[in-house]
Structure 1
Amino acid sequence: MQLLSIKDCDIKNKKVFIRCDFNVPIDDYGNINDDRRIRSAIATIQFCLDQGCAIILASHFGRPKGEVDPKYSLAPIARRLNQLLRVDVKMAEDVVGTSAMSLAKALKSGEILLLENLRFEKGETKNDPALSASLASMAEVYINDAFGVSHRAHSSVEGITAHFDDAHKAAGFLLQKEIQFFSTLLERPVRPFAAIVGGSKVSGKLEALINLLPRVDKVLIGGGMAFTFLKALGYNVGNSLVEDDLLEEALNIMAEAKRLGVKFYLPVDVVAAEKFAPDAASRLCTVQEIPSGWMGLDIGPATVRLYRQVLNDVQTILWNGPMGVYEMDRFARGSNKIAHFVADSYATTVVGGGDTADLVQRIGLDEEISFISTGGGASLELLEGKILPGVKPLLKKG
């Protein structure tokens, strides 16, 4: 998958619109808890500065639902960009209103303008053509560097591209890196290739699992989704999370893995609890002995040992989805143990964004992973074999 590259785009001394993903976690006091997404955009922004560009940055933040809400202002993002770039970042009071338009028009070479939250405009998530045209009118060149939202057909991601020809639109360095990494992972992985797939539901990972099966050598299942597979095999899983409408699909996936010669692993023991709560009574048990009315909330130590042994000889590891309810310390042990083993592995290790990225960052292992995607939903759709709406217009012809 070859993308139009910012390096091949004539941006010198041009006014450039860069769609970024600055949707970062912020606490009640306006402090940014994790600026990884902001730091990931710096290479593209700095490259444009070096080319003498006037830069207009745009991003969404949270879900303000088309209404102006000070809680979702990008002001904290502007302050962080000031610190990272050591350049004064101007902040517009709106998205396509008087403030944004006048500041964009007056922007000079080497200056940066950050628009207010794109989702303050109702048309953003509806891919409104009028909003796309207004955003496009601000600049001569469009750069998409927002992988985390490229699976959304939004005005600033997909609609805006119609206003620029191939010589004046391109992918930024982050978007290129994400697409190239996942393309290589799915098309030319170094083998043996193992996929660790967790999270709460099979339905959220169903298409990804189906697309991955012909490409991997081993699949290791964890998290709540494991109980749908276990129940399909006839185990009594108590009150564990199960999608009863997908039991047959779970059996089909396991049968297809067997047909393809893919080793398919399920937990052999779990940490079960009386209820879904951090203070609930809990116990360790095999998957055959989950007490009636109890629920599995983490993989157990025997499963951790089994999965470590399974991963010992692999050369590529893809991990998407935690092994348990990692947000609660009592049920995070399995996920943490697997995270440490993956981080210490000599394999190429790829974490598919979202909760898994949050998990490895929480326990300080993010620097030990070969590649951490900045987009959970976007990376999942790539694993499903889809071409993202924000990426399709940036594909090289032929």
Structure 2
Amino acid sequence: MAKKTVRDLNLKDKKVLVRVDFNVPLAKDGSITDDTRIVAALPTIEYVIAQGGKAILFSHLGRIKTEEDKATNSMKPVAERLSQLINKPVKFVGVTRGKALEDAIAEMKSGDVLMFENTRFEDLDGNKESKNNDELGKYWASLGDVFVNDAFGTAHRAHASNVGISANIKEAVAGFLLEKEINFIGGALENPKRPFVAILGGAKVSDKIEVIQNLLKIADKVLIGGGMAFTFLKAQGFEVGKSLVELDKVDLAKELLEQANGKIELGFDVVTGKAFDANTETNVRDFDSIPADEMGLDIGPKTVERFKEIISSAQTVVWNGPQGVFEMEKFENGTKQVALALAEIFPNATTIVGGGDSAAAVAKFDLESKFSHISTGGGASLEYLEGKVLPGIAAVHEA
């Protein structure tokens, strides 16, 4: 998928609209608790500045349903944090449109950085941002000369701040972060080096039906752990005690196992607990001996060894979803061992983490530097893995 990137533009003295994904977690006092998404966008922002562009940044933050939401979801603390990271003033304009914003942009000099207010403030007036209001997309496009989309986290949504601007501006290109997501996830799906192994986890099969269906067409092996594995075990006739099972998806799990023709690997055993509790009594149980009063909360040691064996020979791996309740120390080992096995084959193999909880697990085990790519978009990476066309990427102009 050949898309134009920010490298293809002459940015000197241009007003460069940059859609970033600065949807960062905020503490009650308004401080940022994790600035990963801001840091991820720095290469694009710094490139725009270095090329003499005027960087006009904007992002959504949280969900804005009421006037009260606006008070706790302003981009102001984000602008302040960005200023610290780039060691340069970032002018914050606390509106999403109007004379104050237009005047501030008109006063910008080459290399200046400006951030305007949360794009979703526009959702209080008829969901204009989230519904890709045509007038809003045209207005935002009118504020700049060129548009750089670097927000993969919203690429699965057709919003005014990505698709709307792209449709109304001469040049709409990808930033370095969006380019990286396209190259890694898109590349793995379109032309993976083999063996290609997909590792899936998380709570529910229903969240990942289309991912499984798509990956079964492409991958050589699909390893399934986490809560979703128990619906597959139930489909194979195992009793799973109090483990999480989607009874309405058991027949679907049977169909997927048949379609898989041996590609799906579930392992052999689980670590169980009497309750969903960090201090519960734990046991290791084979699939055929899970007691009625216990629940599976992690993959077991034999499963870990099987998964590590498959991972060790892989050339491309996509991982989406933890293998157990990694937030609890007693049930973190499966997820940790998978992460370590992937770290072991890097950089000889391409290893991709599909955002969300998997990315949180990699951070918890301090292994971020041991992966080829860690996606910044949980929902977007999931839809990408489903094989869907993402509107935010489709709207970027072709090279």
Task: Give yes or no for TM over 0.5.
Answer: yes
What does residue 205 of structure 1 align with? 208
**Following TM superposition, by how much is the alpha carbon of 1:329 offset from its aligned partner in structure 2, in angstroms?**
2.2
What does residue 270 of structure 1 align with? 270
Separation of aligned partners in 2, 1:174 and 1:70:
29
TM alignment of 1:213-252, pairs within 5 A: 213-252=216-255
Could you list the per-position Cα deviations for residues 297-339 of structure 1 after superposition, in whole angstroms to 9, with x for gaps in the alignment? 1111221112112222222221110001122222212111211
Could you list the per-position Cα deviations for residues 156-212 of structure 1 after superposition, in whole angstroms to 9, with x for gaps in the alignment? 0212222113xx211111111110112221122111111111111111111111111
What does residue 172 of structure 2 align with? 169
1:89 and 2:94 equivalent? no
Of 276-285 and 148-157, more deviation after overlay is shown by 276-285
Extract structure 1 runs of 4+ deviating beyond 6 A: none
CA contact 1:13–1:109 (8 Å) conserved in 2: yes
1:158 and 2:163 equivalent? yes
1:112 and 2:113 equivalent? yes
Separation of aligned partners in 1, 2:5 and 2:112:
22
What does residue 137 of structure 1 align with? 142
Q: Secondary structure of 2:238's match?
A: coil
CA contact 1:66–1:121 (8 Å) conserved in 2: no
2:153 to 126, 148, 153: 148
CA contact 1:23–1:59 (8 Å) conserved in 2: yes
**Following TM superposition, by how much is the alpha carbon of 1:353 offset from its aligned partner in structure 2, in angstroms?**
0.8
CA contact 1:2–1:395 (8 Å) conserved in 2: no
**Following TM superposition, by how much is the alpha carbon of 1:98 offset from its aligned partner in structure 2, in angstroms?**
4.4
Could you list the per-position Cα deviations for residues 338-372 of structure 1 after superposition, in whole angstroms to 9, with x for gaps in the alignment? 11121122422111111101110111000111111
Of 5-14 and 320-329, more deviation after overlay is shown by 5-14
**Following TM superposition, by how much is the alpha carbon of 1:395 offset from its aligned partner in structure 2, in angstroms?**
4.2
Separation of aligned partners in 2, 1:85 and 1:181:
26
Separation of aligned partners in 2, 1:112 and 1:235:
59
What does residue 313 of structure 1 align with? 313
1:127 to 124, 127, 132: 132
What does residue 336 of structure 1 align with? 336
**Following TM superposition, by how much is the alpha carbon of 1:64 offset from its aligned partner in structure 2, in angstroms?**
2.7
Q: Secondary structure of 1:26's match?
A: coil
Separation of aligned partners in 1, 2:290 and 2:151:
43
What does residue 294 of structure 2 align with? 294
Separation of aligned partners in 2, 1:66 and 1:99:
23
1:348 to 347, 350, 353: 350
Q: Secondary structure of 1:110's match?
A: coil
Of 286-295 and 195-204, more deviation after overlay is shown by 286-295
Separation of aligned partners in 2, 1:353 and 1:14:
33
2:378 to 376, 379, 395: 376
Could you list the per-position Cα deviations for residues 263-296 of structure 1 after superposition, in whole angstroms to 9, with x for gaps in the alignment? 3210321122233232334322122222214321
Could you list the per-position Cα deviations for residues 50-87 of structure 1 after superposition, in whole angstroms to 9, with x for gaps in the alignment? 22111110011122336452322222211221122121
TM-score w.r.t. length of structure 1:
0.93
Q: CA RMSD in A?
A: 1.8
Separation of aligned partners in 2, 1:12 and 1:66:
40
Separation of aligned partners in 1, 2:31 and 2:284:
39
Structure 1: which 5+ runs fail to align? none
Structure 2: which 5+ runs fail to align? none
Separation of aligned partners in 2, 1:263 and 1:386:
22
TM alignment of 1:40-55, pairs within 5 A: 40-55=40-55
CA contact 2:76–2:94 (8 Å) conserved in 1: no
TM-score w.r.t. length of structure 2:
0.93
1:362 and 2:350 equivalent? no
Q: Are residues 294 and 100 of structure 1, via their aligned partners in 2, closer, same or farther at CA, if it must alter by over 3 Å? A: farther
Number of residue pairs the alignment of both structures matches: 392
